[in-house]
Amino acid sequence: MKKIRVAVIGYGHIGKYVVKALDEAGDLELVGIVEQKKSLHDCRKQLPEIFFTDDIANIKGVDIAILCLPSVLVPDAAKMILKSGVGTVDCFDRYGDDLLAVKKDLHKVSVANKVVSISAAGWDPGTDSIIRTIFEVAAPKGITYTNFGPGTSMGHTVAAKAVSGVKNALSITIPEGFGFHKRCVYVECEDGVNIDEIELNIKKDRYFFHDLTYIIESDDIDNLTDNGHSVVIERKGAASQTGNQRFTFKSTVTNPAVTAQIMVSSARAAMKQLPGNYLLPEIAPIDLLEGDDRDQLLRRLV
């Protein structure tokens, strides 16, 4: 069986876990990692068996690129790679209009270049989006509440770290119930920087301005860091005109590890779709699984 040739874009927290997930996948193989030029020497020293480069054009025969990048960098990076004729998978983690705008933009580029891209292929948005879809299948009328945490939000943490004057940061999501949350952002300031100015800039960021956000100054962020997170998705609705149908999904995850695994599974699924951009609810779940024998997969699943 010819393996799917995968390039990894970015070797940070998620990138490292993607490499581990690829090592476990029998139908995919890692053919190279794209990293910043300043990091190449250290990366090559740590992993001499892996080909590192600062340009995906230097990696030959790539079928799909997994983008392990902050969400703000995803749209431009994905478009550049798609235009070269290589498909992409990303874990863009913004919701609503932001995500749909990215999807629309990448769909046009994917179709024009006859390749597939999958966006928001994390756990939320991502596989949790599939759960919400299934809940609505069973109870078309009703309300679904998604309650995150307590746990570390990678997207919010990256956004806080990007604020001028922040030396290090950690964003913790705390559920308030019924889909409402508050954010506790622990911040280590650069020397001479006022925490009040940082607080204003963090609260203005799109990641934070919808939620009650507390800024807490700290002198040792690393001592507070834990990549664990959790979610409870609940729906109360009606099925066949009968109310009081209740559904609950609960999970506890190590954030970068499960995100990486879902991205690797999505890379597999991308090879089975027509050109265009997809979100996970648009893809048959069985396409995410390893194995070409559908009868065998269905025997196990149904």
Residue range 122-158, pLDDT digits in tens: 999 999 999 999 999 999 999 999 999 999 999 999 9
Residue 235 lies in a domain: no
Domains of the chain: total: 1
Compute the mean pLDDT over every residue in the chain, rounded to the nearest whole number.
96
Query: Residue 198 above 90 pLDDT?
Result: yes
Please provide residue 226's backbone torsions phi and psi, each rounded to the nearest 5 degrees.
Answer: -145, 125
Residue 80 lies in a domain: yes
pLDDT band at 75 (very low <50, low <70, confident <90, very high): very high
DSSP for 2-54, please give it: PPEEEEEE--SHHHHHHHHHHHH-SSEEEEEEE--GGGHHHHHHH-TTS-EES
Residue of 234, 281, 237, 248 lying closest to 140 (CA atoms): 237
Asked if 64 and 6 count as a contact pair (C-beta separation under 8 A), the reply is: yes
pLDDT at 6: 98
CATH code (residue 33): 3.40.50.720
pLDDT band at 259 (very low <50, low <70, confident <90, very high): very high
Residue of 123, 143, 126, 152 lying closest to 221 (CA atoms): 152
* Token duo for residue 228: 């664990």
Residue 173 lies in a domain: no
Residue 115 lies in a domain: yes
Q: Give percent of the chain with pLDDT exceeding 70.
A: 100
pLDDT at 96: 82
For residue 47, what are the domain limits?
4-122+255-301
Residue range 14-45, pLDDT digits in tens: 999 999 999 999 999 999 999 999 999 999 99
Residue 15 lies in a domain: yes
pLDDT band at 60 (very low <50, low <70, confident <90, very high): very high
Residue 137 lies in a domain: no
pLDDT band at 294 (very low <50, low <70, confident <90, very high): very high
pLDDT at 112: 98
pLDDT at 182: 95
Residue of 201, 206, 204 lying closest to 187 (CA atoms): 201
* Token duo for residue 43: 């990366």
Q: CA dihedral defined by 181, 256, 89, 248, rounded to 10 degrees? A: -50
Distances (CA, A) of 146 to 185, 209, 247: 21, 18, 12
Residue 86 lies in a domain: yes
pLDDT at 94: 87
Residue of 256, 238, 219 lying closest to 70 (CA atoms): 256
* Token duo for residue 33: 């990692």
Asked if 160 and 237 count as a contact pair (C-beta separation under 8 A), the reply is: no
Residue range 84-115, pLDDT digits in tens: 999 999 999 988 889 999 999 999 999 999 99
Residue range 224-258, pLDDT digits in tens: 999 899 999 999 999 999 999 999 999 999 999 99
Residue 43 lies in a domain: yes
Specify the pTM: 0.92
